[in-house]
Amino acid sequence: MIDLELDKDSRAAVITFANSPSGLFTGAMAKELEDQVDSLAQNDTVNTLILTGTGSTFIRHFDLDELAASADALAEAPSPPDATWQDSVFHRITRKLESLPQVVIAAINGTCMGVGYELALACDIRIASAGDYDLGLPEMHIGMFPGGGGTVRLARLVNPAKALELIATATTVCPDRAEQLGLVNRVEEDALAAARGLAARLACLSRNALAAAKRITLNARDLDIESALTFEQREVNGHLGSDEVRTRLRTMIENGIDIRTPPPSAIDTRNSKEG
């Protein structure tokens, strides 16, 4: 089951994986999540999407009973050789998360392994709660490799050598070690509270500018430098002359406002100099 909360003050949507006590992810949850993401893609009042879990679990891993049934079905009726990522509901979900105009934050509140961490990898920012729990991709222990984008996204997040080491050894790590390795952005006492605080900071900012910044940074990792700069320049050309930007610039100039000052209604919950 997946719960959706809309916070108008912080312009944030919070999706909670209400799958206690097992903490497992299922095919039914995948379909429900895809529907929620599709709906949010059309919601122009939301700047931030937060994904989180319940209790001490974000997502433990995929339901092994369902996975075994899928393995049996695949053995009986193999997939065609021309299959693509679009044939997988999970790949569709993660690509849709990456394509959303909203900034997507994984508020990792506890155990986050397998498909749970693959989902977190598709988020723009990963914040983990402090605690004694595991994050990572242990699929090798079932004779399989991560099949929900973990191999690809982890290699891009860290580097291929480190990603292969972690995947091949089925390594899971504690939150502090995950931060050291770059698997999460940072560790906070309460990941959801920190994610809500970040969403509050983003609430007053331009949705169009946030969406463009997300597109540019995600494209930057896949393009050569000149193609990436061209992509950025085209985004600049499409945004700088907008009424939104011109009005804000005039307001700042006429009132002597420092560029470090956020627009009115900003909620400053964290030092704005921090990354």
Q: Which residues are catalytic?
A: 118, 139
According to DSSP, the β-strands at 125-129 and 103-108 are parallel
- What is the helix (H) or strand (E) element at residue 78, kind and residue range? none
Phi–psi pair at 24, nearest 5 degrees: -85, 155
- Distance, CA of 197 to CA of 192 (rounded, Å): 8
Does residue 42 contact residue 95 with C-beta atoms inside 8 Å? no
Q: How many CA atoms lie within 13 A of 232 on its CB side?
A: 13
Residue 163 near residue 154, CB atoms below 8 Å: yes
Which runs of E-coded beta strand occur in 28-89? 48-52, 57-59, 61-62
Contact 18, 36 (CB under 8 A): no
